[in-house]
Amino acid sequence: VTLAELDQLVERTRDIGELENVYALTPMQKGMLFHSLMDAASGAYFEQTTFDLRGRFQADIFQDSLNHLAQRHEIFRANFISGWQDEPVQVIFRRKDVGFSYEDLRHLDDQERDAYVKEFIRQDKAAGFDLSRDALMRVAILRTGDEDYYFVWSSHHILMDGWCVALVTDEVFEAYFAAVEHREPKLALVTPYSQYIEWLEAQDVEAAASYWKD
């Protein structure tokens, strides 16, 4: 990316946030971006996990823990820009919060609450993601009782796969409990995703193709 091209990209994304990095997509990401743009309504790469939590819970601290995750892992501060120059790029912002919402449903009776949750899940999936602008992971917490909470955790597959969900939720809850207990979270060192992109671009494509053909 030249300085002139970078200036154009900065101008294009100015209303989203300040750029930290710009790099290429992996072949897998390119495929997902292509199919997402071809049929945005299909929901093919929309991932949604739901679960219940019971106990004392502080939603504001949990939101802070989600944003702590995004600051540690640049992929959660990414958007994907197509139709710019010859190749799509992933743009990393210095600050981009994870999508978050909280609703208290305790005023509804059981039947109304169940219907509301079901419709919320449907609408959340129907909304999908704008890969060029949205926070590509979002968490909604629906309070269903005094100590009962229902989580709707959604993300786009271009950020992470199903194997990552447990790792990500473990890290967020470790940060949450650390904040509640007034201690430092015990978290592993982070390897930036950009290092994988750099390694990938350094590979000999012809040699790799020959290996798999053999």
Dihedral, CA of residue 172, residue 130, residue 100 and residue 116, to nearest 10: -120
Whole-number pLDDT of residue 44: 83
Domains of the chain with CATH codes: 3-192 (3.30.559.10)
pLDDT at residue 72, rounded to an integer: 96
Structural contact between residues 52 and 151, judged by C-beta atoms closer than 8 angstroms: yes
% helix / strand / coil in the chain, to the nearest 5?
45, 20, 35
Six token digits for residue 4: 């002139």
User: How do strand 137-145 and strand 148-156 relate by DSSP bridges?
Assistant: antiparallel
pLDDT value of position 96: 95
Q: How far apart are CA 98 and CA 138, in angstroms?
A: 6
The pLDDT score that the predictor gives to residue 1 is 58
What local confidence, expressed as pLDDT, does residue 15 receive? 83
Tell me if residue 23 falls in helix, strand or coil.
Answer: strand
What sign has the CA pseudo-torsion 66, 67, 69, 74? positive
Query: For the stretch 170-183, what's the b/e string if a residue is b when 16 or more beta carbons lie within 10 angstroms of its beta carbon?
Result: ebbebbbebbeeee
What's the rounded Cα separation, in Å, for the pair 113 and 115? 5
pLDDT tens-digit profile, the chain (214 residues): 566 666 777 777 888 889 999 989 999 999 999 988 888 778 889 999 999 999 999 999 999 999 999 999 999 999 998 866 678 999 999 999 999 999 999 999 999 999 999 999 999 999 999 999 999 999 999 999 999 999 999 999 999 988 899 999 999 999 999 999 999 999 999 999 999 999 999 999 999 999 999 9
Structure-token pair, residue 129:
């993601």
Q: What is the pTM of this model?
A: 0.89
Rounded CA gap, 176 and 200, in Å?
Answer: 34
Q: What is the pLDDT of residue 117?
A: 98
pLDDT of residue 157: 95
